[in-house]
Amino acid sequence: MATPLIHQTDLFRPHNDPDDHFDLAVVYALALQGKIDLRGIVIDRPPPKFDGDPDVAAIAQLNHITGLTVPAVVGSSQPMKSPNDTQPSASPSDKAAVRFVLDTLRQSRQRVAITAVGSCRDIALAGKTDPALFARKCAGIYINAGTGSPDPRLAATLEYNVTLDPAAYRALFELPCPIYWLPCFEDYEGEWRVKRHGTYWRFRQEEVLPALSPRMQNFFLYMFERLRETDWLRYLYRQPDASLIHRYSQQERNMWSVANFLHVAGVTVTVDGEVVPLKAAGGSAVYTFQPVRISCNENAVTTWQPDPRSTNRYMFMVRNVERYQEAMTKALRTLLTTLP
């Protein structure tokens, strides 16, 4: 039976980073295949001074393309003051995402997984509001944030998602449910590149974009062009603009996710880029989740040690640094080309 999933994201229009739209498309591809049960999308409130809004149009487009009816809710505008802050005086609009998460967990017969690829705020608020519920009903929180270097000096530089709400990031590591930590980078030393203790990878969009269905090409063009018009449905049915496809195919795209969604779905990626069941991968998996002990201090700096006895704290690790990027690109193309 497919694992229920709540996906939390900083999905904005105009976009902050297009990787969030690629992430969303992967989640829908897995849901359409019946490998996850997508219960809802939590969208961050945009940071102050950011010129954009939660991209509910992207969710409407993918609901239409797939025939799914996934709800969306917008998160709190108020940062947590401490890891134990539950914002009891918050406005109804600021509490909407927390209510949605808690209601979804309470109503689900199965344990619900949560993927967090933006701010940790709303998931942390929900967890701190009812930690006992998370202990019973949360299958795991997949945190795409932080730096994974085993060197405390290098780990001290806070990654972007952590800076959005440091107290919320700390709070997640205190929750009584499984935590799967996927550091976005190993460290910030030198140029961005694949390293063992970070999820970062990149691809040239010509490896994926031309292979997609016309409606999916238009889904991405609507985002790339930073359009603010409300014709999100009619835009899907246009003939894709070949000049725009060519232009955007030349761009490189930074990515930090996909492994989290696949793990929820019970599959992984081999060194050859094949998407296979976890149990069938064996030593061919290009990445893994290792059991660890994790601590996050008052400055939101995360440290870790391997711990084979751990049963509820896991950390992402690249097993084959040389093959990881190529394998993830092939897996991404495989997933997105299933969308009609």
Q: What whole-number percentage of the chain has pLDDT above 70?
A: 100
- pLDDT value at 103 more than 90: yes
Q: What's the sign of the alpha-carbon dihedral 164, 167, 173, 175?
A: negative
Average pLDDT for residues 28-43, to the nearest whole number?
Answer: 99
Enter the tokens of residue 249: 């195919």
> What pLDDT score does 165 carry?
98
- pLDDT value at 236 more than 90: yes
- pLDDT value at 49 more than 90: no
Average pLDDT for residues 99-124, to the nearest whole number?
Answer: 99
Average pLDDT for residues 100-115, to the nearest whole number?
Answer: 99
Domains in the chain: ranges and CATH? 3-336 (3.90.245.10)
Residue-wise pLDDT tens digits, 125-184: 999 999 999 999 999 999 999 999 999 899 999 999 999 999 999 999 999 999 999 999
Residue-wise pLDDT tens digits, 291-336: 999 999 999 999 999 999 999 999 999 999 999 999 999 999 999 9
Average pLDDT for residues 84-99, to the nearest whole number?
Answer: 98
- pLDDT value at 189 more than 90: no
Least confident of 35-39, 94-98, 114-118, 190-194: 190-194
Q: Tokens 């799914």 belong to which residue?
A: 68
Residue-wise pLDDT tens digits, 226-235: 999 999 999 9
| Average pLDDT, rounded, for the chain | 98
- pLDDT value at 48 more than 90: no
Residue-wise pLDDT tens digits, 244-292: 999 999 999 999 999 999 999 999 999 999 999 999 999 999 999 999 9
